[in-house]
Amino acid sequence: MNLKKVLEVKDLKISFDTFAGKVHAIRGVSFDLYEGETLAIVGESGSGKSVTTRSIMRLLSSNANIDNGEILFKGANIVKKSEKEMQSIRGKEIAMIFQDPMTSLDPTMPIGKQVAESLIKHNKVSKKEGLKAALDLLNLVGIPNAEKRLKNYPHQFSGGQRQRIVIAIALICYPEVLIADEPTTALDVTIQAQILELMKEIQGKINTSIIFITHDLGVVANVADRVAVMYGGRIVEVGTSEEIFYNPQHPYTWGLLGSMPTLEGTEDRLYAIPGSPPDLLAPPTGDAFYPRNEFAMQIDTEEAPPYFEISSTHQAATWLLAPQAPKVEPPLEIQRRWKIFQEKQAAKKG
Ligand SMILES: Nc1ncnc2c1ncn2[C@@H]1O[C@H](COP(=O)(O)OP(=O)(O)OP(=O)(O)O)[C@@H](O)[C@H]1O
Ligand SMILES: [Mg+2]
């Protein structure tokens, strides 16, 4: 793996002012993004995936406060940049595909022009050169007859094709970082996987780093180099895909792995992690996961766990990894599902 860091997020804390009080959405998030890698961020709804990535683009709502931390992009702190400086980074050096890509296309503009727009704006190329680049990229993302279709409007394309167009728009300036915030929730998991494959293929050609956000761990199993698991505004476990899928340490990660659909037979009821996420208006002092953790100990109620190192690439924040803690095994139902998943992965690899 290339060890050159493109992004370094350090102890980021973000809160929102609301009528009900302060929502402590991001409570000390740190991670690095390496050149050319794909980092998946997974976690339940409300865990802080979008707020984290929107802060990298500095696209937070006006009631947001960045209370602490820095986001280093090529050595400079994004948190401190002016809006004007951000405008030259956004879309050019760091691009984002939003959660609902269908609404991010302009229905009144031909797609050739839409794809070329940000290149013309940022790189000051001529209209003609812009359209030529747009055509190359539309071919690359697999739009059939792209040359003839440059003048077509979004409604003239299928859902899957529009998805590809949105990716072309994000990639037109060959950004160093591409953030995809669950780009295909509206589409089924198979298409989600195809889109991710496509992004990987293009990544191989332009060496961009990808942050891919999803609820579904299964989707990223074959494509993410590393996985960060978020819970209650923190990263609770991070590791290579191999480490997260074959040697997970945090009970929340066990739950996520156990709740992946196995897509088999009628006996297949989806396992759900019992309980609900923490109240971020008043986050607990201890481990935010303890009310849902069947292995919780006294200390979980008193003190937030530090990161314990499993390997140089693998860390998890759970008191279960403290030397004094009893050794526990993941619940049997989770182990059973996990095994089905691993067998399938092995079968896919042939
Ligand atoms: N503008 C806002 N005002 C108040 N609270 C907010 C705002 N935006 C986000 N939050 C809160 O911040 C927390 C993290 O939200 P975020 O959107 O990052 O979650 P997520 O992990 O992306 O979830 P999902 O999977 O549903 O997209 C949530 O508790 C959410 O309610
Ligand atoms: Mg989100």
Query: 301: domain CATH number?
Result: 3.40.50.300
At residue 267, the pLDDT reads 45
Q: Provide the domain count of the chain.
A: 2
Domain co-membership, 119 together with 267: no
Each as own residue / partner, the long-range contacts of residues 85-90 (CB below 8 Å, 24 or more positions apart, any chain) are 86/57, 86/58, 88/122, 90/57, 90/58, 90/59
Distance CA 206, CA 199 (A): 10
Pick the residue whose CA is nearest to atom 10 on ligand 1: 25
Residues 223 and 116 in one domain: no
**pLDDT at residue 333, as a whole number:** 76
What 3-state class would DSSP assign to 328? Answer: coil
Output the pLDDT for position 101: 61
Contact criterion met (CB below 8 Å) for 331 and 254: yes
Same domain membership, residue 212 and residue 71:
yes
Least distant ligand from the CA of 44: 1
The token duo for 64 is 């947001």
User: How far apart are the C-alpha atoms of 116 and 111, rounded to whole Å?
Assistant: 8
Residue 233 forms part of a structural domain: yes
Query: According to the model, what pLDDT value does residue 83 have?
Result: 94
Q: Whose C-alpha lies nearest to ligand 1, atom 11?
A: 25
* Measured torsion, CA atoms of residues 272, 274, 280, 285, in degrees rounded to the nearest 10: -130
Which among 191, 198, 190 is positioned nearest to 171, based on CA atoms?
Answer: 198
Q: How many angstroms separate the Cα of 330 from the Cα of each of 254, 267, 291, 294?
A: 7, 21, 17, 10
- 283 within a domain of the structure (yes/no): yes
**Do both 24 and 127 map to the same domain?**
no
Domain assignment present for 49: yes
Whether pTM > 0.75 for this model: the answer is yes
Closest CA relative to residue 179, chosen from 336, 340, 38: 38
Atom number in ligand 1 closest to CA 52: 18
72 C-alpha vs ligand 2 centroid, how far in Å?
A: 22
Phi (first) and psi of residue 211, to 5 degrees: -110, 120
**Pocket around ligand 1 at a 6 A CB cut-off:** 16, 18, 23, 25, 43, 45-51, 61, 63, 280
Give the per-residue pLDDT at 227: 97
For ligand 1, atom 9, the nearest C-alpha belongs to 51
* Three-point CA angle 321, 326, 328, nearest 5°: 80
Do residues 80 and 223 share a domain? yes
Q: What is the CA angle 30-195-316, rounded to 5?
A: 25
Do 87 and 157 fall into the same domain? no
Q: What is the pLDDT of residue 185?
A: 53
Please state, in angstroms and rounded to a whole number, the distance separating the CA atoms of residues 194 and 311.
Answer: 31
pLDDT of 266: 41
322 in the same domain as 244: yes
Whether the CB-CB separation of 286 and 295 falls below 8 Å is answered with no
Please check whether residue 209 is in contact with residue 56, taking contact to mean a CB–CB distance below 8 angstroms: no
What is the C-alpha to C-alpha distance for residues 60 and 286, in angstroms, rounded to an integer? 28
Host domain of residue 303: 1-93+176-191+205-350
119 and 42 in one domain?
A: no
Q: Are residues 42 and 125 in the same domain?
A: no
Cβ contacts of 191 within 8 Å, gap of 6 or more: 160, 163, 184
* Residue with CA at minimum distance from ligand 1 atom 28: 46
Please tell me whether residues 47 and 160 are part of one structural domain. Answer: no
Q: Is residue 321 part of a domain?
A: yes
Q: Does residue 143 sit in the same domain as residue 130?
A: yes
Tell me, yes or no, whether 277 lies in a domain.
yes
Tokens 């100990």 — which residue? 297
Helix axes 111-123, 159-171, angle to 10 degrees: 10
Distances (CA, A) of 348 to 45, 95, 191, 248, 345: 29, 31, 17, 21, 5
Q: Does residue 258 belong to any structural domain of this protein?
A: yes
Mutate which of 9, 26, 29, 47 for ligand 1? The one with the most ligand atoms within 8 Å of its CB, which is: 47
Do 214 and 346 reside in the same domain of the chain?
yes
* 8 Å CB contact between 348 and 219: no
Distance, CA of 255 to CA of 272 (rounded, Å): 7
**What CA–CA distances, in Å, run from 337 to 76, 120, 267, 329, 349?**
44, 50, 12, 14, 19
Query: What is d(CA 331, CA 318) in angstroms, rounded to the nearest whole number?
Result: 16
Tokens of 4: 């050159």
Residue 160 falls inside a structural domain:
yes
Whether 303 is covered by a domain: the verdict is yes
Q: What is the C-alpha to C-alpha distance for residues 348 and 139, in angstroms, rounded to an integer?
A: 28
| Strand bridging mode 177-181 / 76-77 | unpaired
The tens-digit pLDDT sequence of the chain (350 residues) is: 568 999 999 999 999 999 999 999 999 999 999 999 999 999 998 999 999 999 999 999 999 999 999 999 988 999 999 999 999 999 999 999 876 666 789 999 999 999 999 999 888 899 999 999 999 999 988 899 999 999 999 999 988 888 889 989 999 999 999 998 875 555 566 666 777 788 888 888 888 999 999 877 877 887 899 999 999 999 999 999 999 998 999 999 999 888 776 545 444 555 678 899 999 999 999 999 999 999 999 999 999 999 999 999 999 999 999 999 999 998 887 788 778 877 877 777 66
- To the nearest 10°, report the CA torsion of 104, 107, 111, 113: -90
